[in-house]
Amino acid sequence: MEGALDLLVSITSIATLGQYAWSMRAHFQSPTMPPGAMIVSAVVIGVALFFLAILWIERQPVAAKIGGLAIELASSVLFWWAIAISRKARLRFAFDADNPDSLVTDGPYFYIRHPFYASYIIFWIGWGIATWSIWAVVPVAGIVVIYTIAALDEERKFSRTALAGAYGAYRARAGLFWPRLRRDRRSRRMRA
């Protein structure tokens, strides 16, 4: 059973990376791949090989593999939801030098400003859990830092466009990678 689970996690992880690679050609609209995106791609390949090695060399609890797999699948749901909603927008690669020219606020974007980056982070957390290795913490933390830098870079670019006002209002209501917790003002007044 362990070998079958290792194979399932490996296939799911590689397939998830394949869908991300597909999106680079078929969904995002940058004329060329920016150097920052090339670095991200190199990091992704390196970490993927590292995680595959850990998965097949070390033993992991079955619960870690199943839990990690479930988290990876959840990341794919978020990824494809973001693809479906942003199809008509002209989204660019991470670290693209051009300023954004469209703002998507429906679907997962209603709750979070960067659902693609959030899906990538969730995926890596899931694969890290599936490896059940303390060594997975460093690459996952590095990937979180990279995607956070990319997201904040995009947010700075919005401030330089005609979309700055709309993006400011959007930013006040939607979380960066995780939905904002909303407090009901009426219930706070009633307690006072």
Q: pLDDT (tens digit, 9 = 90+) per residue, 17-58? A: 999 999 988 999 888 889 999 999 999 999 999 999 999 999
Type of residue numbered 167: Y
Rounded (10°) CA dihedral 68, 19, 85, 159: 90
- The number of beta carbons lying within 10 Å of the beta carbon of residue 185 is 8
What tens digit of pLDDT does each residue of 106-150 get? Answer: 999 999 999 999 999 999 999 999 999 999 999 999 999 999 999
Give percent above pLDDT 90 in the chain: 84
Higher pLDDT among residues 192 and 95, named by residue: 95
Average pLDDT of the chain? 93
pLDDT at 90 over 90: no
H helices then E strands: how many in the chain? 7, 0
Name the nearest CA neighbour of 118 among 63, 62, 178: 178
Given 3-state DSSP classes, what are the helix, strand and coil percentages for the chain, each rounded to the nearest 5?
70, 0, 30
- Token digits for 46? 């390196």
Structure tokens given for 50:
């590292």
* Exposure on the CB side of residue 124, measured as CA atoms within 13 A: 27
Other Cβ atoms closer than 10 A to 127: 29
Q: Assess whether pLDDT exceeds 70 at residue 104.
A: yes
Does residue 188 register a pLDDT over 60? no
What was the pLDDT predicted at 192? Answer: 53
Label residue 187 by pLDDT band (50, 70, 90): very low
State the pLDDT at residue 181: 81
Question: Coil, strand or helix: which one is 61?
Answer: coil
Give the orientation angle of helix 62-86 with respect to helix 115-131, to 10 degrees: 170
- pLDDT at residue number 30: 85
The rounded distance, in Å, linking the Cα atoms of 184 and 101 is 33
Using alpha carbons, select from 24, 116, 11 the residue that is nearest to residue 69: 11
What phi and psi values does residue 175 have, to the nearest 5 degrees?
-75, 165
First CA to last CA distance, the chain: 57
| Nearest-angstrom CA–CA distance, 121 and 79 | 11
